[in-house]
Amino acid sequence: MNKFVAIVGSNSNKSTNRELLQYMQKHFQNQAEIELVEIKGLPIFKKSADRFVPQEAKDIATKIEAADGVIIATPEYDHSITAALTSALAWLSYGIHPFVDKPVMITGASYGSLGSSRAQSQLRQILDSPELKARIMPSSEFLLGHSLQAFDEDENLKDPNEVKQLDGLFKDFVQFVNISKQLNNANVVNKHKAEQFSWDKD
């Protein structure tokens, strides 16, 4: 059985993105082992002369490296991902590079009708950057709109069409992860390039 890390892309104590990942953890427990990972304990990203990386970021990196794949649930603020998620991804590409060639599924929930569509698009671009270079599942979006009303009292998704779509996307992600395991011939080179990359150099 595959083991996935599910990153809550918010530092809010009450987040419907956390609820979505908790639902996925329970709903797909017979298909994969999903561990929720919080970013709210991370400090705001800051470069330092000694390239210091906080232990919290190193611990998350270790979990990502050991996982078969990563699921990220992002809210949308001002048409973008949260500052907390931006900062977390910066730490996870600063001297450590756990995302290189790692299969990633992007999901998201928002209070409005668009379901974090712009934030998900932005997150794709960030994950494809030279420092991160994740392997993002193509042609897939799970956009949970009106998320405050999306779950019942048992924390299950109410809309059967949403459940059906998520079931299909998750099944595709499992297949994507299994295929990706055969596509790591350039992983050593890709990781080296990520480690050598710097925006400070010409």
Q: What SS3 state is found at 6?
A: strand
Torsion, Cα of 168, 173, 174, 179 (10° steps): 130
Domains located in the chain, CATH noted: 2-196 (3.40.50.360)
What is the mean pLDDT of the segment spanning 1-25? 96
Question: Which uninterrupted H or E stretch holds 103?
Answer: strand 103-109
Residue-wise pLDDT for 59-96, tens only, equals: 999 999 999 999 999 998 888 999 999 999 999 999 99
Q: What is the mean pLDDT of the chain?
A: 93
Residue spans of alpha helices (H) in the chain = 16-27, 55-66, 83-91, 117-127, 160-180, 187-196
Residue 200: band (very low, low, confident or very high) from pLDDT cuts 50, 70, 90 = low
Per-residue pLDDT of 111-152, as tens digits, reads: 877 778 899 999 999 999 999 999 999 988 898 989 989 899
pLDDT score of 199 more than 70:
no
pLDDT at 192: 80
Mean pLDDT of 20-46: 97
Contacts of 186 (CB under 8 A, 6+ apart): 101
- pLDDT tens for each residue of 91-100: 999 999 999 9
Range with the lowest mean pLDDT among 47-56, 102-111, 183-192? 183-192
* Closest listed residue to residue 89, CA positions, set 127, 141, 59: 127
